[in-house]
Structure 1
Amino acid sequence: MELTADQDDELRALTTSSEVSAAVGTRARIVLWHAEGRMKKDIAVLAGVSRPTVDLWLGRYAADGAAGLFATKPGGPREQVSADVRSHVLALTRVTPPAETGLSHWSTRTMADYVTRTTGTPISHHWVANLWREHGLKPQKQGTFKLSKDPAFADKVADIVGLYLDPPGSAVVLSLDEKTQIQALDRTQPLLPIEFDRSEQRTHDYVRHGTTNLFAALNVGTGEVVGDCVPSRNGPAFLAFLKKAVAPHAGREIHVVLDNLSTHTTPDVKAWLAANPNVHFHFTPTGSSWLNQIETWFGIITRQAIRRGTFASVQVLVRTIRAYITSWNTDPRPFQWTATADEILAKVRLTQLNIKKLVANNTK
């Protein structure tokens, strides 16, 4: 079982929260231990439960996410919630939480708390979990759709999606970005239940040895990745990596998809582009990093090599990243982009309409 960063954070929060029972915390640890690759029989010993109990909670988590770790009471009346509130929750689920919440994604509890507070209609996180299950929504796995305020959003989407779906003949399309402040963490073994220090409320100790920044460029056509780890993320470092990324394609037209950071538009970068007219930049809309295919690859390397790795130094972390890139390129897999620009823009218009309706309903 592999966990996303959000899932990992949510489960670890359950293990330390004073608002949930110790039983729920133990169930969360079961899932975390299983994600670390521990055998189920060992997990049963660590958690002080039977092997079937381990299977039970792993199964419930796989089906319902964190909501499945909360035991439901049999019987009892079904919550009566109006159609307006149901629509309200469904629309909110499909967008990024409002900025004032400070949330990066919805959980069943944060959704229930937010809707109860803003609408005055009390709903439980169990009801939210059932609604999400009924409509096949899993925001903890797939994320939400973030709206961009870029006035050139439509034009940029059409430009970049056009490169993905119908690249210019014989041209190379590179998806480029940087993953910053990757930590070299030295993880100790989790504490056994009998040794668990409830005053500390933790299951791991961490020793941080520093960070590195990963520049990476994905060849959209072949799936090959060029990467480089650097101590500083600045204009000179970006330009040096850009030259490295385009070097294998000398003499060809090269289209680079990237975001419009200040380090990507320094005078030195602009001068280099002027001297290399075969290289063309295509900037993603503001707040729309999901449009850059390298972000998908960053997610993969994070899950498979970085998040639960143990690195005694930054040098060990860098060697691990380089080894992963070398291994990836032995059998590169290009990502298949399927959504057209019209489909994306239609989804944006629908989301904007839903938000306007929510605002109108809440101001009545």
Structure 2
Amino acid sequence: MKEQSDDYIRGRGAQKNVHNRFFAESYHMEDEFLNYCHSEGDNPDDNKTQFLEVYPKTIVNKVESPDVGMAHSMNSYQGCEHGCIYCYARNSHEYWGYSAGLDFERKILVKKNAPELLTEKLQNKNWKAQTIVMSGNTDCYQPAEKKFGITRKCLEVFLRYKHPVGIITKNALIMRDADLLQELAKDNLVGVNVSITSLSEKTRALVEPRTATIKKRLETVKALSEKGIPVNVMLAPIIPGINSHEILPLAKAASDAGALSIAHTIVRLNGAIAEIFTDWIHKAMPDRAEKVLNHIKACHDGKLNDSRWGQRMRGEGEFAEQVSAQMRLARRKFFEGKSFPGMNYDLYEEMRDGQYRLF
């Protein structure tokens, strides 16, 4: 594989900020300004991550998309320093007034009042227990969590109210909270989804630059499983020409580590992500850029952008069917006799006030 271009920003996914569709004007650094900075020894962009506090009025969101396997989600952070180049959540950063590109990775919005808002939600007399997924949009164990600890405080709330919670992450930091997860698992109140998209560290570092290593993630699956915490591994997304050849080895590694199930999606590049991904792959993998982009289009009726319910996650055409066939084979070969447990919705009614009702 040809080395990255000279202007490749290492340690980041997106290689530029793209125009926010809600803004009439856009911001660009002209070559004249950049040349001046270079001659003066100045750095026009320090590439540092900023943490910005925000104070939302609610934290639990109803998921309206019919092809997403969750009813409700919550996100303690907006933006994600992991920098996964394909991340569908990038577009949501535009609603906050930022770019879906580098801003998404470098301007992290922190919701410190998330535990209090979650408590209010679970105390609401009209709320009926349904699984709330942490990381429905951005990773609740991204690097910011080590600094702010919001996810752990939210898990303490879920445990106090005996309410079911799902987690999606690419970060081994989840092991910090194994004690809480074990307590939740005793009552079937938690399900963990660990995303593993490649067994190649070189690929991982390009596609998901600030995530935990593959070794760490597999160790996390094993450690959680050994503690009785159910784990599903997300082979997601499958990107043609990048990780599509790894489905069976990934499935075997997940099963060997103790995962109870696997799931997948085909990459889709909606909204600003198409421009971000296209720019990235020409800089990160210039020798295979057009081939990968054409394969992605072949999965989505000739387009990078696919918003059709039901089709957008699975794709269509010969390649998408090959992926689905490999997933079926992987389940038969490596997951026979395994199953992911259902959630317990019965205990919450007894604990709505944060303590067992005696009468």
- TM-score, length-scaled by structure 2: 0.24
- Which of the pair is proportionally richer in helix? 1
Please say which structure displays the higher CA radius of gyration: 1
Higher relative contact order (CA 8 A, sep 6+): 2
